[in-house]
Chain A
Amino acid sequence: EVVMTQSPATLSVSPGERATLSCRASQSVRSNLVWYQQKPGQAPRLLMYSASTRATGIPARFSGSGSGTEFTLTISSLQSEDFAVYYCQQSDNWPPEGTFGQGTKVEIK
């Protein structure tokens, strides 16, 4: 089973600053990496797939990069609505059992 590890667990950032979130896979998942955003009391929202393709309606300040085992989600200039928990998920293996990272909480500094 591929284990996904996100870091840091919590990221404190001021509005307008850049946020960089990391996701590491225990073995290569090629470019099959997905990011979700979840705000309190809400369902997760698909942000990014294939490591670097923004989902429909996702602002350009969100960008994804990486392949193999190392991936990054960057939020170029944090807006108030971006404070949330972000999860990565590898989609290289089927079924999707155990494919999520544990999440990174982006909080206001």
Chain B
Amino acid sequence: QMQLVESGGGVVQPGGSLRLSCAASEPTFGNYAMHWVRQAPDKGLEWLAFTRFDGSIKDYADSVKGRFSISRDNSKRMLYLQMHSLRFEDTGVYHCANDFGFKERPLGYFDNWGQGTLVIVSS
């Protein structure tokens, strides 16, 4: 089972930027689409971004489109989320997760999840 470990969270002012990272334990990382999912304090789950197994296709929730950018480096088994123009409502725990589907057939639901990294947007 693939282990995922996020890092890079912290406290940032509104309008600031932050880059999150997600390290995968398995060489099979490159076979799976990856996602970022956010959880605001005491709230539910919100999907944010997707990248195809090879990084060739990306998709974003409207709430982050134009501000966040997902990328991956399969040679390093790493997933990233670059966040710009951060807002108060971006506060939350950010999880990376691999898609349950394999390679060209992402299914849009999430198999293994990381524990998450906390982002706090505060002035």
Q: Is the CB of A43 within 8 A of B115?
A: yes
Contact of B30 with A by CB under 8 A? no
The answer to whether A100 touches B110, judged by C-beta atoms less than 8 angstroms apart, is no
- Given A49-B100, A95-B59, A95-B61: A100 touches B115 (CB 8 Å cut-off): no
With an 8 Å Cβ cutoff, the count of chain B residues facing the other chain is: 22
Q: Note all chain A residues with C-beta closer than 8 A to B116.
A: 43
Within 8 A of A (CB), among B7-58: 35, 44-47, 50
Of A11-19, A64-72, A86-94, the one touching chain B: A86-94
B108, A43: Cβ atoms closer than 8 Å: no
> Which single residue of chain A is at the shortest CB-CB distance from B106?
A94
- Complex CA–CA separation, A36 to B81 (angstroms): 23
The secondary structure that dominates the A interface is loop
Chain A's interface size range is 20 to 34
The interface bits of chain A over 86-109 (1 if a CB of B lies within 8 angstroms of the residue's CB, else 0) are 010101011111111111000000
> Of A36, A45, A97, which is within 8 A of B47 by CB?
A97
Which residues of B are in contact with A by a Cβ distance under 8 Å?
1, 35, 44-47, 50, 59-62, 95, 100, 107-111, 113-116
Binding site for B on A (CB under 8 A): 34, 36, 42-46, 49, 55-56, 87, 89, 91, 93-103
